[in-house]
Amino acid sequence: MSAPLILALPSKGRLKEQVEAWLAESGLTLSAAGGTRGYLATLDGFDGVEVRLLSAGMIAAALDAGEVHLGVTGEDLLRERGEGAMTRVVLLKGLGFGRADVVVAAPQAWIDVVSMDDVDDVAHAFLARTGGRLRVATKYANLTRAFFAAKGVGDYRIVASDGATEGAPAQGLAELIVDITTTGATLSANALKILDDGVILRSEANLAGRRDAGLSPAQNRAAEKLLNQLKIGADSFFA
């Protein structure tokens, strides 16, 4: 049998349920395969498609690396991989769930700070006073760097954050954060506020494809059939 088309789908949590519901709308059913470990699945009626169940972050990485042909993951996770990744991966369709905004948030105690213009002022004063730069805690270093550059804010430093980013200011590890939020409740609970012009990206789950994937004729037929059933125009994927 020839190599299958590889589709990567989220392996756990709410996102997995939402993806399954979205597939069901198009009459597609996912069946677990590959034993009890459950990292593989099949789509009923699609013999030429192998489904890999991965975390959303791993799906973004696998698409970028060309290890999978199609995948569902967050736009934020793909864009964070940098401009290079966005030349290799094409967003085929926003799926309307998995919504999260990537935002810049500042301490509520900073009454005078409501915009990125204010951040630039304060960052400049901070550098002049302390000799160090304002620290921004984030897991989104690339998105942060591109956004701050677009806003012309230069006097800051990124502090990598792996865990609960919203706690970084209270812990004295950073002054600002860039993180995802859906309702803003977690930010408020941590005495942080979103800046007026601080929305970097309104992200949602996307079906994305690897450009120049070098699909065989059989893989191409499988992709066409699948995208057709999902009612997704995919000229940019096959181009």
Partner 1 sequence: MRIEARIPDPVLQRIRAPFRRVDASGAKPERIDPPVIQPLDLLLDLSGEAMRERLFVVQGEDGAEACLRPDFTIPVARHLVDRGALSGRWYYQGQAFRIAPLGAAPAIHPSEFLQIGIEAFGGPDDASADAEIATLAWESAAAGGRDDLSLRIGDVSFFRAFLSDIGVPGIAAGRLQRAFTRPNRLRAEIARARRTAQVPPAALGVAEIERLWAEQGLEQTCGRTAQEIADRLAHRTRETMEPCLTDEQAMRIEQYLDISDRPADALARIRALGAGSAFETESKWWSLLIGDLSGIPNDRITFDAGFGGPFSYYDGFVFEIVSKALGSDAAVAAGGRYDTLAAQLLGRPVAAAGCMVRPARAWNGAAQ
Q: Which residues pair with 183 in a beta bridge?
A: none
3-state class percentages of the chain: helix first, strand second, coil last, to nearest 5: 35, 30, 35
Q: Does 117 bind partner 1 (CB under 8 A)?
A: yes
How far apart are CB 161 and partner 1 at their closest, in Å? 15
Q: Does 212 bind partner 1 (CB under 8 A)?
A: no
Q: 3-class SS at 21?
A: helix
Site string for partner 1, 118-147 (x = CB under 8 A): --xxx-xxx---xxxx-------xx--x--
Q: Does 16 bind partner 1 (CB under 8 A)?
A: no
Q: Does 148 bind partner 1 (CB under 8 A)?
A: yes
Closer to partner 1 by Cβ: residue 34 or 167: 167
Whether the Cβ atoms of residue 37 and residue 81 lie closer than 8 Å to each other:
no
CB atoms within 10 A of CB 178: 25
Q: Classify strands 134-138 and 176-181 as parallel, antiparallel or unpaired.
A: parallel
Q: Does 27 bind partner 1 (CB under 8 A)?
A: no
Distance CA 44, CA 30 (A): 6
Whether the Cβ atoms of residue 160 and residue 139 lie closer than 8 Å to each other:
yes
Q: Does 169 bind partner 1 (CB under 8 A)?
A: yes
Closer to partner 1 by Cβ: residue 177 or 234: 177
How many alpha carbons lie under 13 Å from residue 182 in its C-beta half-sphere? 5
How far apart are CB 210 and partner 1 at their closest, in Å? 18
Q: Does 185 bind partner 1 (CB under 8 A)?
A: no
Q: Does 112 bind partner 1 (CB under 8 A)?
A: yes
Q: Which residues pair with 178 in a beta bridge?
A: 104, 138
Interface residue list for partner 1 (CB under 8 A): 82-84, 87, 107-112, 116-117, 120-122, 124-126, 130-133, 141-142, 145, 148-158, 169-170, 175, 191
